[in-house]
Structure 1
Amino acid sequence: MASNQGLRDESDGQARRRAVMAVLAHSAMADIAGRLGTIALPMHENLREPEHGLVMVRGRIGGDGAPFNLGEATVSRAAVRLTTGEIGFGYVLGRDQQKAQMIALCDAMVQSTELSGEIETKVIAPLRAAMIADRSRKAAETAATRVDFYTMVRGEG
C-alpha cells in the first residue's frame, strides 16, 4: 500500500512539474524575469551552462503512418542545482539562453518543499492567469470571425 502511495506522489509531482513547465514555456522571458525579481532567489550552481543546439523534429504522415524527419529546430537548455539539492532543467525552443536558465531555476524551486509555495503564488499563478487570459482573448477574436454553413433541404424527392 505504501509503495502505491509513493508512486502516486511521484506521479503527482511529475504532473505538477509538467504543468509548471508548460506555463513557463508559453510565457515571455521578460514576464518570467519580472516575476522572479519579486522573490529572493536561492543560492544555486549551474550544472549545465546555458547553451543552444539543434534537435531533430519528427512527424507522421496521416497520423498513423511511419515517422519521418521533418527538420531541425534550435533549442536552448540549462540545468541548475540548488544548495538544498534540487535539480532543475530548462529547455526552450529558440536561442534564448537566459529564459532556459530561468526555467531551470523555477523547476528546481518548484521541487523544493520550502520554496514551492512562494514560486507558485508569486510566479507561476500570475503567469498562468495571463496565459489563460491571452488564450481566451484569442479564442474570442477567432469566434467573432466564425461562419456557420448549413444546407437547406429541397422539397424534391
Structure 2
Amino acid sequence: MKDFTRDETADRKAWMGLLARSDAADVLALWDQADLATDHQWLRAPEVGGVMVRGRAGATGAAFNLGEMTVTRCALKLADGRVGHAMVQGRDKRKAEVAALCDALMQGAEADAVRDAILTPLADMAQARRAARAARAAATKVDFFTMVRGE
C-alpha cells in the first residue's frame, strides 16, 4: 500500500471531491470518450447506503444531526495492485465505479491522461456552473443609496 505525502493527500482529496460532486452524466460521458477502461477486481462492489449529515449553526455552534443522505460506495483493485475508492451521493453504482477507477488510475502513469480527459473538463464545467449561479444572483442585486440632505 502506498503512503501518501501531505500534498498527495490533498491532491487526492481534490480529485475525489470533484468526481463526487460532478453530475453523473458528465462523468460517464467523459469516461466513455476517454477510453481508459481497465480490468479490475472488486474489493467492495458498489453498495447503496446512508450517511448522517451533520451541521453547525453559524459554523461555530454545537454540531447537530441535519438529516440522512443516500450514498453509493465501492473499492476496487487494478491488475497492478493499485486500489481505488469512491463514495458518491445518490444511487448511481456506475458513477461510483468510474470514480473509483479514476482514483486508481490517478495513482499511476495514466494520471496525466485521466486529468486531461476527465478531471480538467469536470473542473471547467463546475467553474461554469459557479459563474452562471453568481451571474443569476448578481442580476437580483439591489443597490441602495442614500442622498445627502443639505440642512
Question: What TM-score, normalized to structure 1?
Answer: 0.84
Which residue type is aligned with residue 130 of structure 1?
M
Equivalent position SS for 1:123: helix
Tell me the number of residue pairs that the alignment of Structure 1 and Structure 2 aligns: 148
- Structure 2 unaligned residues grouped into runs of 5+: none
Deviation at 1:49, TM superposition (A): 0.5
Q: Which residue of 1 aligns with 2:50?
A: 54
RMSD: 1.9
Give the Cα–Cα distance (whole angstroms) in 2 for the partners of residues 61 and 136 of structure 1. 27
- Structure 1 unaligned residues grouped into runs of 5+: 1-6
Contact 2:84 2:103 (8 Å CA) reproduced? yes
Q: Which residue of 2 aligns with 1:115?
A: 110
Pick one of 31, 34, 53 that aligns with 1:36.
Answer: 31
Map residues 1-157 of structure 1 onto 2, 5 A cutoff: 10-37=5-32, 38-112=34-108, 114-155=109-150
Contact 2:21 2:88 (8 Å CA) reproduced? no
Equivalent position SS for 1:77: strand
Give the Cα–Cα distance (whole angstroms) in 1 for the partners of residues 39 and 137 of structure 2. 45
Give the Cα–Cα distance (whole angstroms) in 2 for the partners of residues 75 and 107 of structure 1. 17
Which residue type is aligned with residue 131 of structure 1?
A
Question: What TM-score, normalized to structure 2?
Answer: 0.87
Assess, with a 3 A threshold, how the Cα gap between structure 1 residues 16 and 63 changes in structure 2: closer, same or farther. closer
Percent identity between the two aligned chains: 45
Assess, with a 3 A threshold, how the Cα gap between structure 1 residues 138 and 66 changes in structure 2: closer, same or farther. closer
Deviation at 1:61, TM superposition (A): 2.9
Give the Cα–Cα distance (whole angstroms) in 1 for the partners of residues 36 and 131 of structure 2. 32
Equivalent position SS for 1:147: coil
